A and B are shown apart, each in its own frame.
Chain A
Amino acid sequence: MEKTVNQRAWFLVIPVLILVAFSSIIPMMTVVNYSFQDTFGGNNFFWVGLEWYRELLRSERLWDAFGRQLLFSSIILLIEVPLGILVALSMPKKGISASICLVLMSLPLLIPYNVVGTIWQVFGRADIGLLGRTLSDLGISYNYSQNAFDAWATVIAMDVWHWTSLVALLCYAGLRSIPNAYYQAAMIDQASRWSVFRFIELPKMRGVLMIAILLRFMDSFMIYTEPFVLTGGGPGNTTTFLSIDLVKMALGQFDLGPAAAFSLMYFLVILLISYVFYTVMITADKDEAQS
């Protein structure tokens, strides 16, 4: 087949190119630029090559933050995914109660991140907070600003409170799309409740569950506002996650070079993990379809 040669179509792509350039490519390249140079202000730059990267990879501070970040993401995934499924399974299927449930579930998702942080900060205070006061009245020592374990527990509880709804809503949508005939067939086949979950509900929820896990992983790996408002990264460095550390470095210490290198590595790690996850998901899907 003869193809028409018409290069003028490229002009139509220009608006998008400009938009993308200004929204991501140029800012990104600025960061790349910073990461290879040192500056003492006044627009004086010195080329340092990979020095910042080398320094950061050797720094205990970065690895500690990275470790905390991984631990945090793993814990919230381990809690939010099963809990979300459980909530979705026990939500009413239809009628006015289903609608009320959906609205209530969406509420935490609509609250601005820094407000979530503030809510929990007040909630956990031992003098006026409902949670903090109740716990201390019960004789349980609890202080999220002094005790590392309490701080972690509060940050995790906050994230679970904020985001389990998302997992639950996605799973609920997946569950509602299962035709009734599957449940009827399972009853006829005398399947147990567990079998119904294992062989009907879980396989049918697979797609949405993957999306939920991916979203929750990315979001939790980049978490900043809520723990910053709640604990400010403390006590000490115990709740200093990667993004909190990055902001400290960039804006607190004004170490632009290392901070830029940090940002890029942070970005690449998220990209890499998401890519691996996505690939595994897609191949697993294909295998299933082919076998």
Chain B
Amino acid sequence: MASITLENLAHSYHPNPDGDDDFALKDVNYTWEDGRAYALLGPSGCGKTTLLNIISGLLTPTHGRVLFADEDVTASSTAARNIAQVFQFPVVYDTMTVEQNLAFPLRNRRMEASYVAERVGRIAEMIGLQADLKKKARGLTSDLKQKISLGRGMVRDDVNAILFDEPLTVIDPHMKWELRTQLKSLHREFNHTMIYVTHDQTEALTFAEKVVVMHEGRVVQIGTPKELFETPAHSFVGYFIGSPGMNFVPVSVAGNKARLGDETFKLTHDYGNPNGDLKLGIRPEFISLTKGVGLPVRINRVQDVGRHKFINAALFDTEINITVDEGFEIETDMKNVILDPDKVSIFCDDWRIDAQSAGKMDGGAT
């Protein structure tokens, strides 16, 4: 086991890449610490799988290096890296039984029979396939097959890392929860470095200690679920994490004053005089609807989703979402909103401005 370092990593599937657009992965620098559980989150086509395949050695990157601890493994084979990977769709060896499938990675490493039997037994118990051990893998349903794939990924206990590439796509929802819990407990027990690729934010946030968000071939933010939620570094993170995502309103900023439409709004930080496309970002959870105090809004519609209500409103021609609790009564004369000043972020050309604190100030609209 070792930390995994990615240095100036870039990859293109074109033989002669020309320009940024040809790259599926653009300049990734990151160190995956040994023994942590990470989630790699991003929409389809953002380069998650490419990144994973480069770590496991299935792909050789166009540029950059991969290091395990201090050893450069960029040119090493997958086998030499001793890494486990579980794919999105089940891969089983048809002619083998479930047991032989699970034992396959161990037998390839010429482990002792008693050790193989013990590991296979444990893994089978974990994924709930003890009763099916002697069955041929070929006749099983696809979620059982995927469990075998998961089991094969976890059966070696000396791997450098276990990579999961959206492994629960074909699994039933109730089983998803259970398997994810088992993955977490496995992680606590063995302390493998785990990288879990997903496009499902709930999955990412519940599984990982650290979430790496990717967007168009770049890592846009790495942080704990809380950091991603409260201080998204990129407007994409704000929009992608949370349901509904962060609201973005065009704004102009001078020092600690923000101008929204024809209202001025005091910020808690001094942002100087930023140039570029400026937006104010605020999560729907941090907007409160009031009577007469704050910025004027026009409510378009209200959606009741059980524990919350989503209010869709227009704030100076920009659509925003507001989340209120189930018990909150919406009255007809609530035509203003207050944005929680501590939770406001300012984005310049999609990147969050990390303002130096200019001393706490009273927020709220003036």
Contact = CB atoms under 8 A, between A and B. Distances in A.
Interface of A: 179, 181-182, 184-185, 187-192, 195, 199-200, 203-204, 288-291
Nearest to B105: A189
Given A184-B58, A188-B84, A188-B85, 13 more contacts: A179-B89, A181-B89, A185-B85, A185-B91, A187-B57, A188-B153, A190-B78, A190-B82, A191-B104, A199-B104, A288-B94, A288-B139, A290-B139
B152 interface: yes
Nearest to B89: A181
Nearest to B159: A188
A187 B83 CA distance: 10
Interface string B71-104: 0000001110011110101010111100000001
Contacts of B89: 179, 181
A199 B85 contact: no
Given A188-B85, A203-B94, A288 B108 contact: no
Closest 5 interchain pairs by CB? A185-B91, A187-B78, A189-B105, A190-B79, A190-B108
A188 B56 contact: yes
Given A288-B138, A291-B136, A199 B95 contact: yes
Interface of B: 53, 56-58, 77-79, 82-85, 87, 89, 91, 93-96, 104-105, 108-109, 135-136, 138-139, 149, 152-153
7 contacts: A181-B87, A184-B53, A188-B56, A190-B105, A191-B108, A203-B93, A204-B94
B96 A184 contact: no
Of the listed residues A179, A185, A191, A291, the one surrounded by the most CB atoms of chain B closer than 10 A to its CB is A185
Contacts of A185: 85, 87, 91, 149, 152
Interface of A is mostly: helix
B109 A184 contact: no
Nearest to A180: B58
Nearest to B134: A291
A95 B105 CA distance: 33
Contact of B138 (A179, A184, A189, A289): A289
Contacts of B83: 188
Nearest to A198: B95
